[in-house]
Structure 1
Amino acid sequence: MDTVAENTEQTMIESRAALYWWFSTLFSRELDETSFNAHLNEQGQLLLTHLAQVPELEVEVNAVKQGLNLINQQAHPHLESAVEFTQLFLGDLKQSAPPYASVYLSEQALMFQKPHQDMVILLNAQGLTVNKSFNEPADHLAIQLDYLGNLILSAIKADDIALAEQEQAAFIQHHILNWLSLFIDKLKQCKQSGFYLHLAQLLKTYLELEVSLLAASYWE
């Protein structure tokens, strides 16, 4: 592989990782005014414009933009966003949409179940730990997306890129897509502007597209 091709592939890998870290940030905590403008009105607009160029993502991207526009029409958009985040993700298990895999994959909708334990094992294998300041279970959606970004970035140094990509696809299928639809269904039941619901739907469609493309790459 020549230098130009190597640089192009590395840039694509870094871009994929950065996108997952962006999703992770938005699902991790409430954004202050500076973070809101940086991640949504600056970086976010660029990412959404880029994603809208993919036909399979156009509908979801437009829906996210509409939801963001509704928030931006408020007097203090970052505060509106923070309040909605709190109501959706930090409320009780009945009235909110908890962003934890265990809640959706355990019979009694409990936290700290097998999905959490599985994520702890995966994080430890990569030499990663959950930041103590975050103080959330390892199967939190934001942690899973952050881990996926790191997994993608590690492919730059992988001896077998195809094998690394299959590891990524397997993680997406068995640790995120196996509960994301249930999370989205719960979001639909909550009062909201629609921004986080559409963001989750965009994430799901993007993940499904990623799995499809990674599988196609494996058989080339």
Structure 2
Amino acid sequence: MTLSTDSTSTDSTSTDKTTDTATQWQAANAARSALYRWFADVFARELTSDTLNDWQNNQTFDGIHEAFVSLDLEPYSARVKKAIDDLEQLPKEHRALELAADFAQIFLLSGDDSAPPYASYYLSEDKQLYNEPTKQMHQFLASQHLKLHAEFHEPDDHVSVYFMVMSLWIDSSMEQNIDMSDVAQEQVEFLDTALLSWLSKFNERCQKIRVKTDVYPALVALAEQFVLADREALDF
């Protein structure tokens, strides 16, 4: 004998839970993609005066800060927020210039005096660029039919590329409605092998570079914690 009424109720409850989970996953993915893309943009080039003004005057960063707070990353995001607020101590016309100088000091000078944003530097014994990580990322981009923007004149293993790949990958999985457990495991493996294998070393080096402001050291510290939190959330 079967209990058809109870069975129907159970099926309905199960379906509702599945729908709720899928909806939550879609919402989480939209936020994840936006934050990965934000980091990709931040590290790809110097912050412009327009971006800086937007962050300071239009409360744009306040919204981003709230997103990080929801991920239990408030201390790290608060550090970035304070660094941005501290820029007001400088003449307005000098702020973007100081940030450009900091960007160059941390990311563009020789390895001994900076923190190169390339996986090859941290994963190769000789710390030379264009090593195996560059080739691996190039192959990965090709396999996913992705190309770097023509104006982005950096090796394929630049930190911004990893963040942008994650953003595009998340967007693609949502558009194709791919099973979340499968894509989550694939993304965990990518983060572990391609990004987290060197991101902590990159962050440690960034914290040691003497710069005028704390904006970029704070951003890199936040980026590492965000990736760690995202990786943990994916491991369900």
Distance 1:159 1:21 in 2: 20
Distance 1:168 1:159 in 2: 13
Residues 29-86 of structure 1, C-alpha deviation per residue, up to 9 Å, x if partnerless? 112211223357643221112212333x121111111222222331132222122111
Partner of residue 200 from structure 1, selected from 220, 223, 232: 220
Equivalent pairs: percent with the same residue? 29
**What is the number of residues matched between the two proteins?**
215
**TM-score, normalization: structure 2?**
0.84
Partner of residue 185 from structure 2, selected from 166, 171, 176: 166
Distance change >3 Å, CA 126–CA 100, structure 1 → 2: same
Quote the residue 1:214 is aligned against.
234
Aligned pair 1:153/2:171, yes or no?
A: yes
Contact 1:99 1:183 in 2 (8 A): yes
Partner of residue 48 from structure 1, selected from 65, 87, 108: 65
Quote the residue 1:31 is aligned against.
47
Contact 2:61 2:81 in 1 (8 A): no
Structure 2: which 5+ runs fail to align? 1-14
Contact 2:203 2:224 in 1 (8 A): no
Distance 1:114 1:40 in 2: 40
Distance change >3 Å, CA 135–CA 40, structure 1 → 2: farther
Contact 1:101 1:116 in 2 (8 A): yes
Residues 114-136 of structure 1, C-alpha deviation per residue, up to 9 Å, x if partnerless? 11111111111111111120110
Contact 2:65 2:74 in 1 (8 A): no
Quote the residue 1:126 is aligned against.
144
Contact 1:101 1:140 in 2 (8 A): yes
Partner of residue 33 from structure 2, selected from 17, 22, 28: 17
Aligned pair 1:190/2:206, yes or no?
A: no
Structure 1: which 5+ runs fail to align? none
Counterpart of 1:207 in structure 2: which amino acid?
V
Residues 126-177 of structure 1, C-alpha deviation per residue, up to 9 Å, x if partnerless? 1111112011001000111001111111111143221111111111111111
State the SS of the aligned residue for 1:52.
helix
- Give the CA deviation at 1:196: 1.3
